[in-house]
Structures are given as structure tokens and as C-alpha cells.
Amino acid sequence: MSDFIVIPEKKTGPDKQFPLFGELVHHEHEQIVFCSRPEVGLKAIIAIHSTTLGPALGGVRMWNYKSEKEAITDVLRLSRGMTYKAAISGLNLGGGKAVIIGDPHTDKTEPMFRAFGRFIDGLAGRYLTAEDVGMTEREMEWIYSETKYVTGIPKAMGGSGDPSPVTAYGVYMGMKAAAQKAWGSDSLEGKRIGIQGAGSVATYLARHLRNENVKLYVTDIFDQKARTLARETGAEVVGPDEIYTLNLDILSPCALGGVVNDDTIGHLSCDIIAGGANNILDDEKKHGNMLRNRGILFAPDYVINAGGIINIASEMEGYNEKLAMEKASRIYDTTLRIFEFADEHDIPTIEASNRLAEERINAIGKVSNIYSSKSHFSYRKGEMYMRNRS
């Protein structure tokens, strides 16, 4: 008998072999898709967090990420936030998100976005995309040329157009709810409010606040954008770092996430944080508790910036702008309910919001286990009844 050598299998944990899968398990994602088309400059990532309540909906953002790891981390956090956003808003949608790695000011081309549309179409409705940071209606139209699974297309094409006005209105409603909780009145007149960012959502929000005669401060990493917004609204322009140290009643982050972190939290001098950015807290548990201990009321971002997804959901049902705004106004009551739940259970507001969202996901998830789809039977031996959700 021939001799042979058995090479023992190296014992390594799954996270060491596949760190990406470890991240998926940690964030409880269903699927992540990498999309590459070098000839048109496309490097994109689509993350589907949950489809328990319905197809995963979430915008595509284009950003010049410093690394692929940073892009993956961002898309995983954002897609998870979309699941909770849809759930807490009472929508029959799941959570997803996409990012395209590139400079939104110089790298956009029609072939790039049409290729991205093809990848979305290949997911057959598991993921529905929309407009997000770095995107405009033009790119949504290009994507729409290749797939029907896109929302936020121009109104002239039957869509809802730019979701920023409804998003900003929801943030405004959430901000007023926070004022009601903190001061016993939802009037913002005379309050010192700082807006971080001068993009579309920040612009529409600033217009609402101007009408309440607040003392407004704005900042942006692109100084000219901040100055343009300041000229329109009568705001005072401050530096990007200065916004963290101003003596404010309300800080409203409306740019990128992670701005309440270990470096900034000790400098904050405000009573309320209520903004349109996603994932404002760099670490939900840690920084949520730190804000609570400091007596700073946090209006969970995915709750008050849900106007965008509410707007898109309305588009899917046959767009009605008046109805979308009416639904966004309900963010006021949802935010107050979260504050009450947080007080009742002596927990941070972000934890209260997460629990309420998870309660709905779990409850509907149990119903979803009941088979109710259309069936067909082909009379071929060995075939089973198949679902047809078309």
C-alpha cells in the first residue's frame, strides 16, 4: 500500500477567512453585490439589509471614498438604516442602499449609470434605487433607461422628482417635535439653529426655519455653497469645525454621517440634535448614551429624515405630492412617540426608535411566513408548487 501524507486543514474562524461575511453577520444583512464595469468607470456596491417588510428601497450615493473599505462600511450602515426607517414609518418596504465610488463632480457619464441600471435590473426587484448624495434627476433618468426598479425619476416622466423638499419638511417636523419635548412649545422663533451642510435638504430646511424667524448659522465644506444659502436665508456662515463649538439651541447635521463622535461630542453646546443626515451618531450605543447623559435630546436621524422614502413610496402607488407631504407631517407624532418610549424605559432615544422598528419587523415577519402567493402546477413529476410574485 502506498504511503500518503495528510495535510491537516488549517483551523481558522470564518471571520479570519472572510472578514466581509463577518460584517454581514454583524449588521444582519441578506446580500451585498459588487458591480464592476471598468470600461465605463463603474465601481458600485449594492447592499440589501432586509426584505422582511417588502423590497429593499434605498438611494444610490456617489462619493469619492478614500478606500473600498470605507465605501463598504458606509453602504452597510446606510442600508441597515433604511430598514429601520421604513419600519418606523409604517411602510411596506425593506432596507437597501447603493454607493458608486467616484467624484460626483467630474466622473459622471451616461454609460456609467446605464450600466448601473443593468445591475439593478438583474436583481429583479429585490432592490429599488433612488436619488441620494451626489445624485440628480438626470442620473435617475439614465438608470431608468435600463430598469424599471428606480424611483425619484423626473415628474415629467411620471415620477416624484427630487425628494429633498419632502425630506426637509420631515426634518422640520421632527425638529419641532423635539422642541415641544425639550421646551414645552414647538415654536422655533428666536432659536439659535446651526445647519451643517448646504445641499438640497439643508436648503429646503433653511427656508422653513427662515419663516419661523430663527437665528440661523450654516456651514459646508464647500464655502461657496454655504455663502449662497446664507444670502438667500439671512444666515451667518461659520467654519466647518466652528459649528461644533457654537452655543446653539439646535444642531442640525444635514451632510454626511458620523459627525457626533469621540472627537466632537465633548465640544457640543446645544440642547437638541435634529438633522437630515444619515447615521449622525458614529456609534449608536456609545454616543447615544453620551448625549443622554449630557442632557442633549437626539431626534433619531432615520426617523425625521424619512420624508424621502415616504415620498418615494407614494410614487410607487401613483404619485400625489399633497399626500406625500401629509404623510411626512406624521413624523412629528412618530418622533414624540419615540421620546415617550425612551422616557418610559429609561433608554436613549436611538435605542427606543430601534426597538419600536424591530417590534414591527418581527411582528410582520411572522405574518410573512404564512404562504399566500399564487401557485401553478405543471403536472411534471417531481415539481413543487412555485411562487409567482410578479
CB neighbour burial string for 138-149, b if at least 16 within 10 angstroms, e if fewer: ebbbbbbebbeb
The rounded distance, in Å, linking the Cα atoms of 61 and 255 is 12
Q: Cα–Cα distance between 86 and 95 in angstroms, integer? A: 7
Burial of 158 (0-12, 13-18, 19+ CB in 10 A): exposed
CB-count exposure of residue 192 (10 Å: 0-12, 13-18, 19+): middle
Q: CA angle 4-5-8, nearest 5°?
A: 145
Rounded CA gap, 31 and 62, in Å? Answer: 20
Q: Residue 41: what are its φ and ψ, rounded to 5°? A: 80, 20
Residue 327 annotated among the catalytic residues of the structure: no
In terms of C-beta density within 10 A (0-12 exposed, 13-18 middle, 19 or more buried), how is residue 116 classed? Answer: buried
Catalytic residue from among 97, 108, 176, 327: 97
> Contact, 264 vs 241, CB < 8 A?
no
CA 279 – CA 164 distance, rounded (Å): 17
Task: Name 76's Cβ contacts closer than 8 Å, sequence gap at least 6.
Answer: 23, 24, 27, 29, 32, 47, 49
Amino acid at 165: P
So which residues are the catalytic ones?
97
